[in-house]
Amino acid sequence: MTRWNVLEIALYGVGDRRRIITFMPDTVNIITGASGTGKSAIIDAIDYCLGSSSCGLPFYVREHATAVAVLWGLGDQHMIVGRRIPRAGKGTEQMFVRSGRKLTLPATGDRLEGATNRDTARTMIERAFGIGDIENPALKDVSKKGRATVRDITPYVFLSADVIISRSNLLHDMNRVEKARDIKATMPFFLGATDQESILAERRLRQLQVGLDRLERDAKLKERSKGKTAERSMALLSQAADIGLAEAPTPDATDQALFSQLYAVTQTDALAVTIREGDDLAVLEVERRGLVRELQAMRERRRSLVLAMREMSGYESAVSGQAHKLGLVKHLKLSDGRCPVCESTNEAGRAAADQIRTSLEVVDHEVLAVDRLRPELADEQIRLDASLAEQTRRLREVEAQITAVIRQRDASGAAATLAHQRALVLGRVHQFLEMTTQDVESVPTNIASLQAEIAALRDRVDPEAKQERLRDAEIVIGNYATEMLSELPSEMPVFRSRLLFQATPKVTIIEPIRRAALALSEIGSDQNYLAIHLALAFSLQKHLADVDAPVPGLIVVDQISRPYYPEGGDEKSLGEMAKDTDRSAMRRIVRFLFDETNRQAGLQVILIEHAFINDDEDYVKAVRGRWTLQTNEKLIPPGWPSRT
């Protein structure tokens, strides 16, 4: 036994009752029997003892059993995991975990050892299976899904009734949105494409990137807010200056200087000051008109500059084309006095050579001139754009000051006294300072250190290498599954087809005739779905063993005969199947289970089945229980009393 297998499952009832089901490691184990005997609850029992948040055991089991325990084995290493069974509602938070060598299940549920809470129990199971014991305190308050857990192994070990012939549900629990998300997130870890440290690093990287994006957005908002703050500060100071509470702000005043002036206004005795002589509104209006004229001239200059650059670009293209064409004759001997065409010595030839040489020199000078002027014009445009932005900003400030002064004078008409006017302005200044000072004086976050940590995490995660390893795992699993499909009974379009696997997770069937790529939902036929799910389950387990993944070597299969028998009833024989082809298909599937289990070291199969094949020696030897109407044997023995 090279991988963890289930050795025993025990159910405990009232009055020291105990029901044990024994399984053999590294081989196929079969429980056959009638419907309603509790066979499918074997999956629920194992799942419940893997720390599920809810109890999926059926009502009859809850009514008669008080606890359940599973004995896991890996060589002589054992682990017992037990849990109380609630009569109704969700699962209990208390669990029991005990690890050691050659352990045995206790005789009664009261003797289960290692009581602990569910979270701690899951951590202990993860350590035993080999799921890395890694915690990152920075992640705990953000998300419970910081890493792979024992709850993420169930898609690889359970081939339950809602999966085995499903056309939409690829793996156990994938029909639940939150579980589908977890399966996708942790599959690269289990397939060997990444490790727990990388999973945590990826999680941390995503959180830091979100935080950095938020900080950068906040920084931009603060920059915009600061621009507005300067306008509002100047507007308030202009109002204060108009009624003698302050000096008019200078155009080049810094934010800190503006705030200092505003603080000085709040300390002014409104009754003691006198109105300063002069018309600030007229001064501001003169400045506004000058700024408008300057901006008009600058915009006209920029338009001319853009036009010149556009024309220069067209001229450059033409000159470059000429230079390229004339460059073809540079290999001719233009300086030896001969004709460049016939190489004879005559005046006409010398004149032609001089003309070509002169043309080449002119074009070369023009190309150099364009190359020299282009960066100069580009630099000039940058300078002009900066001046435009600065003058536009100042114009907004002046217009805001003018508006503020006009509003102040309009409000003055409603104010009974000068003191009242000053009180209104002082109130506006106080309110503005209270609302903005905290933002302006806040300590900036060190974005550079955050960016450095993100860069370091990216180097550690190496997403390209992870994707290559994941792609390799997908190819390997797809090849395994394709080979296994050929051993299982199927119909077109699955017959002789190729299975492609993606770790999203998803399968695609490439049918052999038209090479059409078919999604799972397009396949049709329960027999085809059975073959696909079996091939995928066993190919995943094969790859998990290859990469030494921390997943038990266990597949629990709930009824491979579903396509061939009607629902319900007692244990069935092959003779009860309607078609010879169905009987032959059933034998091929059973043979596949035994052969593949023998080929994969450490793999254990628990098959829950209606069928009993009495003429198959391997099948008969693998049966661990026949829960039929004749034997009256069930998961919960009929004589057990109900819980009080």
What are 241-264's pLDDT values in tens digits? 766 677 777 766 776 777 777 777
Is residue 447 one of the residues assigned to a domain? Answer: no
pLDDT at 466 over 70: yes
One domain for residues 287 and 396: yes
On whether the CB atoms of residues 497 and 485 are closer than 8 A, the answer is yes
When mean pLDDT is compared across 194-198, 304-308, 379-383, the lowest value belongs to 194-198
pLDDT, residue 603, reads: 96
Q: Compare 221 and 98 and report the one with higher pLDDT.
A: 98
Domain count, the chain: 2
CA distance 406 to 403: 5
Is residue 528 one of the residues assigned to a domain? Answer: no
pLDDT, residue 441, reads: 47
pLDDT, residue 208, reads: 75
One domain for residues 123 and 229: no
pLDDT, residue 416, reads: 47
Q: What is the CATH number of the domain that holds 644?
A: 3.40.50
Is residue 643 one of the residues assigned to a domain? Answer: yes
Residue 99's CB: how many other CB atoms inside 10 A? 16
Is residue 574 one of the residues assigned to a domain? Answer: yes
Q: Which amino acid type is present at position 342? A: C
pLDDT at 642 over 60: yes
Is residue 146 one of the residues assigned to a domain? Answer: no
pLDDT, residue 300, reads: 86
Is residue 568 one of the residues assigned to a domain? Answer: yes
What are 26-65's pLDDT values in tens digits? 999 999 988 889 999 999 999 999 999 999 999 999 999 9
One domain for residues 246 and 123: no
One domain for residues 407 and 280: yes
- Type and span of the H or E element at 178: helix 177-190
* DSSP labels, 507-573: EEEE-TTT--EEEGGGS--HHHHHHHHHHHHHHHHHHHHHTT-SS-SEEEEE-TTTTTS-SS-S-B-
CA distance 626 to 613: 12
One domain for residues 271 and 125: no
**For 338, phi and psi rounded to 5 degrees?**
-100, 160
One domain for residues 364 and 231: yes
When mean pLDDT is compared across 104-113, 297-306, 315-324, the lowest value belongs to 315-324
pLDDT, residue 137, reads: 40
What are 174-210's pLDDT values in tens digits? 988 888 888 988 899 899 887 666 666 666 777 777 7
One domain for residues 119 and 19: yes
pLDDT, residue 139, reads: 37
One domain for residues 111 and 238: no
On whether the CB atoms of residues 605 and 567 are closer than 8 A, the answer is no
How deeply is 137 buried, as exposed, middle or buried, from its count of CB atoms within 10 A (0-12, 13-18, 19+)?
Answer: exposed
pLDDT, residue 496, reads: 92
pLDDT, residue 342, reads: 58
CA distance 546 to 422: 83
pLDDT, residue 85, reads: 94
Is residue 161 one of the residues assigned to a domain? Answer: no
Q: Which domain holds residue 397?
A: 221-419
pLDDT, residue 221, reads: 54
CA distance 82 to 115: 9
One domain for residues 126 and 228: no
Is residue 461 one of the residues assigned to a domain? Answer: no
Q: Please state whether the predicted TM-score (pTM) of the whole model is above 0.75.
A: no
End position of a domain, from candidates 369, 390, 419: 419
Q: Compare 624 and 237 and report the one with higher pLDDT.
A: 624
End position of a domain, from candidates 395, 419, 443: 419
pLDDT at 272 over 70: no
pLDDT at 141 over 50: no
End position of a domain, from candidates 419, 446, 461: 419
What are 419-459's pLDDT values in tens digits? 666 667 666 666 666 666 555 444 455 677 777 777 777 66
Residue of 42, 43, 33, 161 lying closest to 569 (CA atoms): 33
Report the phi/psi class of residue 545: left, alpha or beta, with left for phi > 0 and alpha for psi in -120 to 50: alpha
One domain for residues 258 and 382: yes
pLDDT at 297 over 50: yes
One domain for residues 293 and 403: yes
